[in-house]
């Protein structure tokens, strides 16, 4: 399953809820959720722990738009818009967390 999150973890519980529920699969961080993929953020430890059971991706254009491309945590893969489409096509189910 692909879990898609678009809200910042600092002002929304979507990422926290997803990390508690998802035992396997993939997460794609888009829009303001890309802040969670950066070194030094409040969710860094939670994301690092989740990398043991989940593949985590970040939408590169959203990361770059926020000036954060040089702060990406190790283990998180960058995808472009084509990669976003590939992830959706590769996963039988997609869940957008609101």
Instruction: Say how many domains are in the chain.
Output: 1
CA–CA distance from 39 to each of 9, 14, 21, 30, 68 (Å)?
14, 19, 23, 16, 10
CATH of the domain at 28: 3.40.1260.10
Instruction: Identify the segments of the chain with pLDDT beneath 70.
Output: none
Q: What is the pTM of this model?
A: 0.96
Query: Quick one: pLDDT at residue 24?
Result: 94
* Per-residue model confidence (pLDDT) at position 91: 97
Range of the domain at 54: 2-97
Residue 55 and residue 31 in contact, taking contact as beta carbons nearer than 8 Å: no
Which pLDDT score, from 0 to 100, does residue 21 have?
95
Q: What is the CA radius of gyration of the chain?
A: 12
């Amino acid at each position: 399953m692909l879990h898609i999150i678009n809200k910042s973890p600092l002002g929304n519980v979507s990422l926290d809820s997803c990390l508690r529920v998802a035992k396997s699969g993939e997460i794609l961080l888009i829009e303001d959720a890309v802040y969670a993929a950066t070194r030094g953020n409040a969710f860094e430890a939670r994301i690092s722990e989740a990398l043991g059971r989940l593949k985590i991706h970040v939408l590169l254009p959203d990361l770059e738009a926020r000036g954060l491309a040089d702060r990406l945590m190790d283990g998180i893969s960058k995808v472009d818009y084509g990669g976003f489409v590939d992830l959706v096509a590769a996963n039988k189910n997609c869940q957008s967390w609101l």
